[in-house]
Amino acid sequence: MPKQTKPIVAIADTFDKLDIRVGRIIDVELESRTSKPAYKMEIDFGKFGKRVSYGRFTRHPIEEVRNRLVLGVLNFDARSMGEVLSEVLVLGVQFPKADSGEATFVSPAVGAKVGSKLF
């Protein structure tokens, strides 16, 4: 029997309200001011501007993170992560066999235009 999911919601009341766009990580560095190891990532969303995000994608080497296409939620409030402020939520899933919160990216399977909307 399949595991129970969360209650069903209307797409117009949920997903359609999110502004999820493709961005390219243009700069990345290990951040020490967060409570757990995280990367500070500067992400270019094209005509939607550049934003800074902090995320626990540290199982990926920096060289693999730089220039990666990612999906980010642009219309959430900025979130405090220790002493820093994350301006965009980069989508991820649990990194295989990693501690809770350590993530791997949700990314387009092929090159996509920076700023493209997820639908």
Instruction: Determine the average pLDDT of the residues in 29-42.
Output: 95
What pLDDT does residue 9 have? Answer: 92
pLDDT in tens, 17-32: 999 999 999 999 999 9
pLDDT in tens, 43-80: 999 999 999 999 999 999 999 999 999 999 999 999 99
Instruction: Determine the average pLDDT of the residues in 1-24.
Output: 92
Ranges of each domain in the chain: 21-105
Instruction: Return all residues near 86 (Cβ < 8 A) that are at least 6 apart.
Output: 52, 53, 54, 55, 78, 79, 80
Q: Is the pTM of this model over 0.75?
A: yes
Distance, CA of 73 to chain centre: 7
Specify the CATH class of 21-105 in words.
Answer: mainly beta
